[in-house]
Structure formats: C-alpha cells, structure tokens
Structure 1
C-alpha cells in the first residue's frame, strides 16, 4: 500500500531521559485535530510556518506534526530531516483535495489543506465533531534505548488505516547553502519515524512494535504519535495528544 495512505491519530507523548518510562493515552468522544506541516530547510518561506507550528502543543484539542520533504534539496542544501515518503504523502493529500500542485510550507488539518490563519477556527470545528474511531497508545522507553509501542484502534468504518509517528523537538540546523544560507533554523514536532499504514481489517487492530532509536535522537525530546485515517477521503477519524505525560514515571508505577 502506498505510504501516502497513512493514517492519523495523533497521540504525542514526550519521553524522558531515564529508562523504563511509560505512558498510556486514550482518545475521548470528540475528534482531536491533526495538524500536518509540510516544510523544508531549503525553502525561504518555511521558517515562519515552522515557528507557528512550534508554538502549538499537543493536547486533547490538537496534535502537531512537521513532515520535512526533500524536493528543495537540488538548490544546494540537503534537508537532514526529509523523508521520501512525506513528499508522497503530501502529493496524495493534495490529489484527494482536487489539486495538482504541491508546495511548502503547506498545512493540512485532518487530511485537508488549510490556510495558517484558519487553524484556530478549524481546530474548534473539528473538536465539536463526534469521533469515528477510538485509540489507545502505550509507549515505553527501555533501559537499552529501545521504544516499545502498543497501539489499539477501532472504527465502525471499513478499510481505515492506523499510523504511528515518532517526532522530536528542539532541533536546529546551521544552513550553509540554498535559500536559507547563513541562517540557523529551529524546529519542533519533526517526524523522525513513520510506522504504517496498518489496516483495521475487522474494524479493530492491536499492534505491538519495537523501534531502535537513532544515536542522534534525544530521548527527552521525543514524542510518539498515532492516528486513524480513511484512505478514500483522507479524513482523519480520531486523534489524541499528550505532552510530556511520561516524565519521571516508572513502568508499573
């Protein structure tokens, strides 16, 4: 299945430095808004959008994710956070909306393109809608630096998808080429790993995965996200967010 058909749940859970940290988050009756920003360090108009996303914090109303794309890399600066699958996902979402052109920065909220100035009103509108999926996500950071993920998703709709994302905040780059040459760019909610999409074949799914963290990732700055999405419309059925709920909490406590 095309990686662009990824789902959206958005559960962001910060992970502490100490090992054996764990957290569990469950969705509520209303719909949480998933905000996706498609961005690039090679794009001179992206830093203001990055800053806008950085001011958002995951909670019961919204979950922010920054997905870096690589189609600006030929201008001289290679974005270290870009992944090929994110450009494919952006193209898929754009096509579902009836458009043909992809660009950065571009915001999507629950699978639909939106203007940055309308984010607040869109979040309020989405929150008022009953959720059409339920989600529960447990994340645990082991002493050996591996991330164990346990997700449960259910929906009355057929053929929907679940995706889990690992994101990192507090990142920065000193840009030496391209449109942003000479600038230091700072980022939050940058997606580092994208797991899925996983189909809910019988209307529900229980999923367990273990992820080895890259040496450059800072465990205290990581977050985990999950979302359920309808691949036919791109609409996000439910999302959930929590910020730093794992801090200093021991497994089994």
Structure 2
C-alpha cells in the first residue's frame, strides 16, 4: 500500500477547524492516531539486526516459531539492535481458518523476497534475518539465543524518527552511505504485542495462539533522491489498528529501488 503524504497546514485550511480540531481528533481517536508520548528514535551507523518471520495461524508448524519470536521481547537489545517483525501471510486462509492478521500485502512481500534471491522459496514458518534466509530455527528451535543469530557490521547510514506527543505528523530523516543511491523508500509499520486468538478451525483447531511483533499495518513512501546528504520527510502519523493488543510498537525502515531488503531500521514502543 502506498501511503499519501499529508500537508498539515493545507488540511487545517480545508477543514476550517485549525489546531483545536487536531486536539479533539486525538481525544476522540479520529482519522489518525496521535502519539501518547513523544517518540524519538535514532539508529546507529551500522545496520540494525532485523528478523522477519512469515507465519500464519492456519499453519500447524507456525505456533512454535511465533513462540520463539515472542521470547525476543525480553532481550535487552530489543528495538535498539534487534528488530523482529511477524508478517502473517494469507495463502493459508482457504484451508479452514482465516488469519485475522493476514494480508495479501505480506504474502506479496515474501514472494518479492524469493524473487530477489533473499529466500529460496515461499513457505511458513519462514525466517529472514538481515535480508537473508535463515534456517537455524529449524535445526535448533527455541534454544537459539539472539546472540547466535547472523549479524552484520555493514554501514547503513543513520535513520531518525520524531513523533511529538499529540501530533498527527511524524518527521523522518535518513543520511545514506551512498549519495548515489536511487529509488530510496521509507516504510512505516505498526506492530501489535500480546495478542491472542482462539482458533476454531483448521490445522490449529482448539488452540489458543499467542503472538508478538505482529505487523498490523505497513505503509510505504517515496524518498526523494537528489544526492542530498540528509533526506528528510514529514508524513502523516500512522493509524494504530486496534486488534486487542496489550502494547503497540512502531518500526520505520528504508529500502532501495524494487528490492524488499531492509537497508536501515529503527523501532520503539508507542
């Protein structure tokens, strides 16, 4: 889904309510979400470790992978050096149980991973760590510790995000390593933590599945490529989907061209 950049001043003029409308909109939970607290995120110069899990509530092999991913929430480096994302795919939905977190967008992302050679094939549970297929979970299971994951020391540039309290605008900036990089794109995902589903049909019938790091929404923007040292963009703050999560988080990352690979990422709790 390609998001649309919003000019706040134009919005106020068109609606004729000014600043008071924004405050009331935050209180009433209207069109956009507002940050309950100020969010300021800044990456290091090296790429953060990203863990993408492609999963489904309709897949009997997935709950164990989901449980392992949930254990990462206790790691002291969570959302600083370690950023997990659980993308629920939709191609299991026709086999008895429709995963409420699934989206064709996430299935498409997994296929793009395969087409780009980052994943050997499309399957669940499927792990991609630092943009490469990772099968270590299948041999070692839940005994795998975060410090045993593949790491990268690759320079990736600095990404920052600022979301002021009670604001409908988010400011981002990215300082690329390669000033000649083309087709840079900005991604914003909202994650849900502490989610539960009572599965009534399909391969996991009768089970209560618990999830963390679930991607509840994913929006994408174009970053202008003009050889600038710092690329800045102000965007409408993301809506926070209510799926019954105990806590929400945000992940912002940069990709290049048509590749789904994550160049740099930052994350934090909302």
Alignment partner, residue 175 of structure 2 = 154
Tell which structure's C-alpha radius of gyration is larger.
Answer: 2
User: 2:162 matched to 1:138?
Assistant: yes
Alignment partner, residue 18 of structure 2 = none
Q: Answer whether contact 1:169 1:187 (CA < 8 A) is retained.
A: yes
Report the Cα distance in structure 2 between the residues aligned to 1:205 and 1:85, rounded to whole angstroms.
26
For the structure 1 residues 51 and 68, does the alpha-carbon distance in structure 2 shift closer, same or farther, using more than 3 Å as the test? same
For the structure 1 residues 234 and 122, does the alpha-carbon distance in structure 2 shift closer, same or farther, using more than 3 Å as the test? farther
Q: Answer whether contact 1:62 1:240 (CA < 8 A) is retained.
A: no
**TM-score, normalisation: structure 1:** 0.78
Q: Answer whether contact 2:159 2:174 (CA < 8 A) is retained.
A: yes
Q: Answer whether contact 1:141 1:148 (CA < 8 A) is retained.
A: no
Q: Answer whether contact 1:62 1:123 (CA < 8 A) is retained.
A: no
How far residue 29 of structure 1 moved from its aligned partner, in angstroms, is 1.9
Query: 1:193-212, aligned counterparts within 5 Å?
Result: 193-203=217-227, 204-212=231-239
Q: Which has the higher helix share?
A: 2
2:154 to 129, 134, 144: 129
**TM-score, normalisation: structure 2:** 0.73
Alignment partner, residue 86 of structure 2 = 66
Runs (5+) with no aligned partner, structure 2: 3-33, 138-143
Determine helix, strand or coil for the equivalent of 1:240. strand
For the structure 1 residues 164 and 211, does the alpha-carbon distance in structure 2 shift closer, same or farther, using more than 3 Å as the test? closer
Report the Cα distance in structure 2 between the residues aligned to 1:56 and 1:238, rounded to whole angstroms.
20
RMSD: 2.7
Q: Larger relative contact order (C-alpha < 8 A, sep ≥ 6)?
A: 1
